[in-house]
């Protein structure tokens, strides 16, 4: 995608910085909301008088909302200006999280989390395209990474903060805070991102036609299944630390912080691997995930062993970089739909992981069994990666023969 000359050349570095900050703030709000239920699982369970498995269902409801909303809203909003779409999506996100903060019962909370998840993927898809359009060609990659940086900072800072607030006051404060952050994003986007009269519009059908490619669907399947292991373990991290490791609940913000450190490391390492290995990086990262997840149940019995184990689980987020790059290469003209659907795939994993983990715990295998369940999903993702590589080599064969 080429940058818009009217914006890229007209904006000063200061104006561009404020726009990127606004977009990143939206990513921070989304990341904080997405993982808040995981850090506050015990508090939400007690507050709504529900089981830990039912809190897992709340997490899955949000993830299903992302899966449903990302392609539908990206498709429906294809003819809208990006500024209008961003403002609408973030306003919608503020409402969904306010409803989550006020939900009186389990079933109303289930609905609120589903609604809150709907604009998640489409926001990231549009925000990354805006970041690229306002930046000079040599700086587009850095601009896109700054949008995603908000998500990484949320894991490192936002989630430990909301976990602490939830423990000190009430878990509802976490979602109320996210609603305020979303409204702040709306104000900043409205203030700093001016309408672009030269913006090139696309159409829903054009996006849909370009999107229907086997390699795109395989990349999404790898994310949906191969990424589920990280969510499987992280969702039940609090009860695992309390019931298996024997750590007091007050240490949960620290544990979430360690996960955030791992996520930052994974984000940096993922970019480094992709630059050198391209799509092969996904295979390397899936193998790494299998090893980490198989070792997690062993580490769960020692507080000191859990520190590097939690950091290592966080590094599994590097897979997102590899798959995002793969989708950009494979999607052609369907950039908006591909970018949004990438987050839908990860939230399919966010729904699948807690569900499978909850089944294993409910069957009596214990909280640490989530590591083995996650390793199985990573192995399935590795199998899909192998199929994708095989198809790519098969399709490249006739092309190579024609070139000779």
**Per-residue pLDDT at 137:** 63
pLDDT in tens, 185-227: 999 999 988 876 666 666 666 667 666 788 888 988 999 999 8
**Per-residue pLDDT at 399:** 47
The per-residue b/e assignment along 163-199, b for 16 or more CB within 10 angstroms, e otherwise, is bbbbbeeebbbbbbbbbebbbbbbebbeebbeebeee
d(CA 107, CA 115): 13
Same fold, 1-201 and 210-396: yes
Q: Are 97 and 33 in contact (CB under 8 A)?
A: yes
d(CA 12, CA 288): 42
Considering the domain 1-201 in this protein, what is its CATH number?
1.20.1250.20
Torsion angle of C-alpha atoms 55, 57, 58, 63, degrees rounded to 10: 140
Q: Are 218 and 128 in contact (CB under 8 A)?
A: no
pLDDT in tens, 256-299: 788 888 888 887 787 778 777 878 888 999 999 999 999 999 99
On whether the pTM is more than 0.85, the answer is no
pLDDT in tens, 142-160: 566 677 778 878 877 887 7
Mean pLDDT value across residues 85-90: 92
- Nearest Cα to Cα of residue 336 among 139, 201, 224: 201
**Per-residue pLDDT at 267:** 75
At CA 240, angle to CA 236 and CA 241, rounded to 5? 120
Cα distances (angstroms) measured from residue 88 to each of 82, 123, 338: 10, 9, 20
At CA 197, angle to CA 191 and CA 199, rounded to 5? 95
Considering the domain 210-396 in this protein, what is its CATH number?
1.20.1250.20
Q: Would you call 122 exposed, middle or buried from its count of C-beta atoms within 10 A (0-12, 13-18, 19+)?
A: buried
pLDDT at 378 over 90: yes
Q: Where are the domains of the chain?
A: 1-201, 210-396
């Amino acid at each position: 995608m080429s940058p818009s000359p009217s914006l890229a050349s007209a904006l000063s570095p200061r104006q561009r910085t404020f726009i990127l900050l606004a977009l990143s703030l939206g990513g921070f709000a989304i990341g904080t909301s997405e993982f808040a239920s995981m850090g506050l699982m015990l508090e939400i369970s007690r507050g709504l008088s529900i089981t830990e498995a039912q809190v897992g269902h709340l997490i899955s409801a949000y993830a299903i909302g992302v899966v449903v909303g990302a392609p539908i809203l990206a498709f429906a909003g294809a003819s809208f200006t990006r500024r209008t779409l961003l403002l609408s999506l973030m306003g919608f996100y503020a409402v969904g999280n306010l409803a989550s903060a006020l939900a009186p019962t389990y079933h109303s909370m289930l609905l609120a989390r589903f609604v809150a998840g709907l604009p998640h993927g489409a926001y990231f898809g549009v925000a990354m395209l805006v970041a690229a359009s306002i930046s000079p060609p040599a700086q587009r990659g850095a601009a896109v990474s700054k949008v995603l940086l908000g998500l990484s900072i949320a894991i490192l800072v936002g989630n430990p903060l909301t976990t602490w607030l939830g423990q000190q006051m009430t878990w509802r404060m976490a979602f109320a805070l996210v609603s305020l952050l979303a409204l702040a994003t709306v104000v900043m986007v409205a203030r700093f991102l001016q309408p672009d009269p030269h913006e090139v519009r696309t159409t829903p059908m054009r996006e849909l036609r370009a999107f229907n490619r086997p390699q795109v669907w395989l990349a999404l399947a790898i994310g949906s299944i191969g990424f589920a292991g990280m969510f499987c373990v992280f969702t039940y991290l609090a009860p695992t630390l309390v019931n298996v490791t024997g750590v007091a609940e007050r240490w949960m913000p620290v544990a979430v912080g360690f996960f955030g450190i791992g996520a930052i490391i994974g984000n940096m390492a993922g970019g480094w691997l992709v630059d050198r290995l391209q799509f092969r990086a996904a295979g390397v990262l899936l193998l790494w995930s299998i090893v980490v997840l198989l070792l997690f149940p062993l580490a769960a019995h020692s507080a000191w062993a859990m520190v590097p184990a939690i950091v290592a689980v966080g590094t599994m987020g590097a897979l997102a970089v590899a798959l995002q790059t793969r989708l950009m290469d494979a999607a052609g003209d369907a950039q908006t739909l591909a970018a949004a659907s990438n987050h839908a795939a990860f939230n399919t994993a966010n729904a699948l992981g807690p569900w499978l983990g909850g089944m294993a715990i409910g069957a009596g295998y214990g909280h640490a069994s989530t590591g083995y369940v996650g390793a199985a999903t990573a192995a399935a993702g590795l199998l899909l990666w192998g199929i994708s590589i095989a198809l790519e080599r098969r399709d490249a064969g006739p092309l190579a023969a024609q070139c000779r």
